Amino acid sequence: MGLKNYVAKLRTNFEKGAKFEKWMPVFESFETFLYVAGETAPKKGAHIRDSIDLKRTMSVVVIALVPALLFGMWNAGYQHYFAQGIVDAGVWLEFSHGLFKTLPLIIVAYVAGLGTEFVFVYVKQKEIEEGFLVSGLLIPMIVPIDVPLWMVAVASILAVVFGKEVFGGTGMNIFNPALLTRAILFFAYPTKMSGTTVWTSDYAKIAADGQLADGITGATPLGDAAAAVGNLDFYHAKWSALDSFIGIVPGSIGETSVLMILIGAIILLWTGVANWKIMLSVFIGGAAMGLLLNTFATTTNPYMALPWWEHLIIGGFAFGAVFMATDPVTASQTEKGKWIYGFLIGFIAILVRVLNPAYPEGVMLSILLMNAFAPLIDHYIVKGHIRRRLNRVKVKQA
């Protein structure tokens, strides 16, 4: 094995006493991507180990994101041409437009984020932790297609520094790093993160050139639903539920296609990487709030009358439920707590979406809010557990 010898030779430069000894963790971080280390189990303890590690887990999440990402690329191109009234550009032209718009976002996210990670590897003198493999792909998938590259770079650096490392690194953070930075961008640069001009690729340019086709406003289904006056007729005429489900609507790059997200969900659940309780309970919570709003629907807020199940297929709801709420680090860690945590995410997401006109999408905020409450939920679940264990003694004495 030539490569193996070469890597082994390279390693000598980083060993203790050698010239680059401080760079050892950086070297090791690269080495572990090449090779699963030859480290063996300790003298005492389990001598055989499951093949899974954090790298594999994160890779599965990345693979699960791919269907939604590829569809998002195509949809970006499709929306770009559709806005100009061109409906027969062809799948490849549409896809390549999206690819060339999206690829730079992904590259910038990974370069900026991983670069920051390696600074911490060097400073902490600890091998890289794989969390950013997922965050780096999530960030471009939850921003509008026309977001400036520098904002993605800022987001990635913030995700690593304030999303993770200030808490102590992977596994220690309170908030989902990708969502936290999206929230920061959303409040810091609202014009680039919301409105009607950012969701369609090159929308501003097309509008300036006067090329916009009739009826194109650049708004997302969420925007139209929130802006509805009197009734939802306009919304229903413009957006079919099928289009929303398949994802042929404007929106953040990865969030539009519920179908592709469900494929990702199946990958995550089948491999056992994500928790089905959280995923399911987010949808149940969303449906519950949707039903509640349907019951009390008024004409002053026609959004309340949007059928409950349509809430689940528009906006970032499905994406948040499948890829964001299930982040094990920031979610509730007890099995019962996961039900409560997921349910409240769905419940509050739809509440914010419908009843707070300032935020057309409530998923991001509700997940971040429940991230903050997850430790509290766990606290009470653990307390209940302890009480049950103590009751064991009392039952016996009685």
Partner 1 sequence: MTKIIKLKKGLDIRLQGKPQPKFAVAKLPSNFALKPTDFPGLTPKLAVKVDQEVKAGSELFYDKYLTEVKFTSPVSGKVVAINRGERRRILEVVVEANGKNESLDFIKANPLTLSREEITKNLLDSGNWAFLRQRPYAVIANPTQTPKAIFISTFDSAPMAPDYQLILKGGIEEFQMGINALSKLTEGKVNLGLDAKVSNNIFQNIENAEKYAFDGPHPAGTVGVQIHHIDPVNKGELVWYVNVQDVVNIGKLFSTGKYSNERIVAVAGSQIKDPQYFNTQIGTTLKDLLADNIIGDNNRIISGNVLTGEKVNIDTYLGFYHSQVNIIPEGNDQELFGWALPGFNKFSVSRSFFSWLRPNKEYALNSNMQGGHRPFVVTGQYEKVVPMDILPVHLLKAIIIEDIDLMEQLGIYEIAEEEFALCEVICTSKTPVQSIVRKGIELMIKEFS
Residues that bind partner 1 (CB under 8 A): 1, 3-4, 32-57, 59-60, 127, 129-131, 168-172, 270-273, 275, 328-329, 331, 333-335, 338, 382, 385-386, 388-390, 392-393, 396
Q: Which is nearer to partner 1, 108 or 265 (CB)?
A: 265
Q: Which is nearer to partner 1, 188 or 386 (CB)?
A: 386
Nearest-Å Rg of the Cα atoms of the chain is 24
**CB of 220 closer than 8 Å to CB of 255:** no
Q: Which is nearer to partner 1, 54 or 123 (CB)?
A: 54
Shortest distance, position 140 Cβ to partner 1, whole Å? 22
Shortest distance, position 172 Cβ to partner 1, whole Å? 6
CA distances from 357 to 74, 286, 305 (A): 31, 18, 15
Shortest distance, position 52 Cβ to partner 1, whole Å? 5
Q: Which is nearer to partner 1, 115 or 272 (CB)?
A: 272
Q: Which is nearer to partner 1, 87 or 393 (CB)?
A: 393
Shortest distance, position 324 Cβ to partner 1, whole Å? 15
Query: Rounded to the nearest 10 degrees, what angle do helices 149-161 and 132-141 cross at?
Result: 140
Shortest distance, position 132 Cβ to partner 1, whole Å? 13
226-249: string of b/e by CB count within 10 Å (b at 16+)? Answer: bbbeeebeebbeebeeeebbbbbb
Q: Which is nearer to partner 1, 104 or 168 (CB)?
A: 168
Residue 297 — φ and ψ, nearest 5°? -60, 140
Q: Which is nearer to partner 1, 33 or 100 (CB)?
A: 33
Q: Which is nearer to partner 1, 103 or 172 (CB)?
A: 172
- Give the 3-state secondary structure of residue 13: coil
**CB of 145 closer than 8 Å to CB of 253:** yes
Residue 119's CB is within 10 A of a number of other CB atoms, namely: 15
Q: Which is nearer to partner 1, 51 or 295 (CB)?
A: 51
> How far is residue 351's CA from residue 348's CA, in Å, rounded to a whole number?
5
H helix or E strand, kind and range, residue 284: helix 276-295
CA distances from 304 to 258, 290, 310, 353 (A): 22, 8, 11, 10
> How far is residue 134's CA from residue 78's CA, in Å, rounded to a whole number?
26
Planar angle of CA 55, 50, 163, nearest 5 degrees: 30
181-203: string of b/e by CB count within 10 Å (b at 16+)? Answer: bbbbbbeeeeebbbbbbbbbbbb
Shortest distance, position 174 Cβ to partner 1, whole Å? 14
